[in-house]
Amino acid sequence: MKYSYQGFFDLPTLTRAYRYANEKRISELVLDKDNVSAMVDGSRNYGVSMQFEDGKLVKATCNCPLENGKCKHAAAILIYLDEQEIKKMEQFQKNNK
Ligand SMILES: [Zn+2]
């Protein structure tokens, strides 16, 4: 499944989120067609829930102080999912050589 989030987060947020995505901070990941939720371990545990329409991110909520959900916690989950997808493709290519 592909979740698109282009333009939703600003660049500084994405930069911070990349680090989070690679630090194994994400747990309790639940993937649904129009919904993704997970816990992100930051300065404390943050619960993130995101809504998608036609695969595109339309709304994110997180219980961190940033009110609009456009935070590094939400972004980290999506970057993490992208990286899992890339790993899967790499594995697939390795197995089909
Ligand atoms: Zn947050």
Q: How far is the CA of 21 from the centre of ligand 1 (A)?
A: 13
3-47 per-position pLDDT tens digit: 999 999 999 999 999 999 999 899 999 999 899 999 999 889 999
Predicted local confidence at residue 91, as pLDDT? 93
- 66 pLDDT band, cuts 50/70/90, is confident
Q: How far is the CA of 73 from the centre of ligand 1 (A)?
A: 4
Q: How far is the CA of 72 from the centre of ligand 1 (A)?
A: 6
Give the integer Cα–Cα distance in Å for 15 and 32.
Answer: 26
pTM of the model: 0.91
Enumerate residues with CB within 5 Å of ligand 1 (an ion).
46, 62, 64, 71, 73
> Concatenated DSSP letters for 18-78?
HHHHTTT-EEEEEE-SSEEEEEEESSSEEEEEEEEETTEEEEEEESSS-TTS-SHHHHHHH
